[in-house]
Amino acid sequence: MWLLAVILPLLRVYFIGVKVLIYQLLHKPFTLPVLPRLNGRVAIVTGGAKGIGYETSRHLASLGMHVVIAGNKEEEGLKAVKKIQEESGHRKVEFMYLDLASLKSVRQFVQKYKARSLPLHTLVNNAGVMLVPERKTEDGFELHFGLNYLGHFLLTNLLLDVLRDSGQSGKCSRIVTVSSATHYGGQLNLNGLQGRSCYSSHGAYSQSKLALVLFTYHLQEQLWARGDPVTANAVDPGMVDTDLYQNLCAPAQLAKKPVAKLLFRTPAEGASTAVYAAAATELEGLGGLYLYNGQNKTSSASSYDKQLQEKLWTKSCAMVLLQET
Ligand SMILES: NC(=O)c1ccc[n+]([C@@H]2O[C@H](COP(=O)([O-])OP(=O)(O)OC[C@H]3O[C@@H](n4cnc5c(N)ncnc54)[C@H](O)[C@@H]3O)[C@@H](O)[C@H]2O)c1
């Protein structure tokens, strides 16, 4: 039983990792097309202070966007802001505190943001943690599920009215959610979402990334049904050399270093699909996509299961105490 619950998710994640690395060995990183200027438009990038999020923030700022880096490490966030401002000469970059592992913090962030009466044209749900030993969020949820998925679920829902009001036909607001190839190995355990009897950090991470894809597709259906000028897409950055791998065990860390040098994407390359989803003209009005290396790909079979999407949505609303619409 333990073997199945712990070893199988680990093997699945490593198998997927090897497949991604082979792909990256054989394919060049995606090159961004020329993107339009986005002066006057506002973006929030969660976890935008480092790694893929930092590169996403930097690129969106270079297109003229007002970028709000939302994160739980103030010093790191302010440093990132300064660096982007100095490099680009673009002043409209700022940090706002947001701890996605706390539903209270998510609500406070949204309250503060709304009090400023700023519009919101792009929300990049990027922040995440991976392979963390068993831990719970402030609200008692398994950490990967609570932070990577539920925090973003609540954040997006609370910001939907601003996104809706800021979008218009032909110029939709955009929600870009960073998932991962590990979602292909993810299994959503609706009866044990808050943790498993045998904890697997690999299973927990994959589950949270699958939940993000299910959420994106269901959200897009709702947006279309209401005729809202907002689109929602999921992106997969590939395997990227960032601090996300800090929780790998020591031997895996050692093995990762040379492999990462050769085969991992740089954070800027990893960010390119998120930037593409956030800004590309050819994606105007398109939603419910799973973008990888700049292309629309098929996500896992279970991510298209409409019943599962609905059940997850209903359960998530109950978990974050949000009234279902
Ligand atoms: N690096 C990869 O190979 C890879 C592959 C697939 C998907 N991803 C996804 O890309 C996203 C970015 O990861 P990365 O590789 O840049 O890692 P990273 O560790 O460099 O960045 C993660 C960011 O999330 C933020 N964060 C963590 N906990 C938070 C919290 N409680 N509240 C708010 N922010 C928090 C961190 O401060 C950091 O800015 C993640 O969602 C990750 O799952 C990464």
Per the CB < 8 A criterion, the answer to whether 56 and 274 are in contact is yes
Residue 18 within a domain = no
What separation in Å is there between the alpha carbon of 170 and the centre of ligand 1?
31
Residue 168 within a domain = yes
Residue 73 within a domain = yes
Residue 127 within a domain = yes
pTM: predicted TM-score of the whole model, two decimal places: 0.97
Asked whether 103 lines ligand 1 (CB < 6 A), one says no
Asked whether 208 lines ligand 1 (CB < 6 A), one says no
Per the CB < 8 A criterion, the answer to whether 257 and 241 are in contact is no
Per the CB < 8 A criterion, the answer to whether 98 and 106 are in contact is yes
81 exposed, middle or buried (CB, 10 Å; 0-12, 13-18, 19+)? buried
Whose C-alpha lies nearest to ligand 1, atom 43?
Answer: 128
Asked whether 100 lines ligand 1 (CB < 6 A), one says yes
Q: Convert the pLDDT of each residue in 103-140 to its tens digit.
A: 999 999 999 999 999 999 999 999 999 999 999 999 99
Return the pLDDT at 297.
98
Give the count of alpha carbons within 13 A of 71, CB side only.
27
What separation in Å is there between the alpha carbon of 168 and the centre of ligand 1?
30
Asked whether 229 lines ligand 1 (CB < 6 A), one says no
Give the residue numbers spanning the domain of 106: 39-318
CATH number at residue 232: 3.40.50.720
Q: Convert the pLDDT of each residue in 29-45 to its tens digit.
A: 999 999 999 999 999 99
Per this entry, what is the length of the chain? 325
What separation in Å is there between the alpha carbon of 126 and the centre of ligand 1?
6
> What residues are paired with 292 via a beta bridge?
236, 295
The mean pLDDT value of the chain amounts to 96
Q: From the candidates 113, 205, 276, 290, which is the catalytic residue?
A: 205
Residue 44 within a domain = yes
The whole-angstrom separation of Cα 180 and Cα 236 is 5
Extract the tokens encoding 226.
């209401």
Residue 56 within a domain = yes
Whose C-alpha lies nearest to ligand 1, atom 38?
Answer: 47
Extract the tokens encoding 70.
């939302």
Q: How confident is the model at residue 195 (pLDDT cuts 50, 70, 90)?
A: low
Measuring CA to CA, which residue among 115, 70, 75 is closest to residue 93? Answer: 70
Asked whether 212 lines ligand 1 (CB < 6 A), one says no
Coil/strand/helix, residue 162? helix
Per the CB < 8 A criterion, the answer to whether 252 and 14 are in contact is no
Structural domains in the chain (count): 1
The whole-angstrom separation of Cα 132 and Cα 61 is 31
Residue 74 within a domain = yes
Residue 33 within a domain = no
Return the pLDDT at 190.
82
Q: Is 205 a catalytic residue?
A: yes
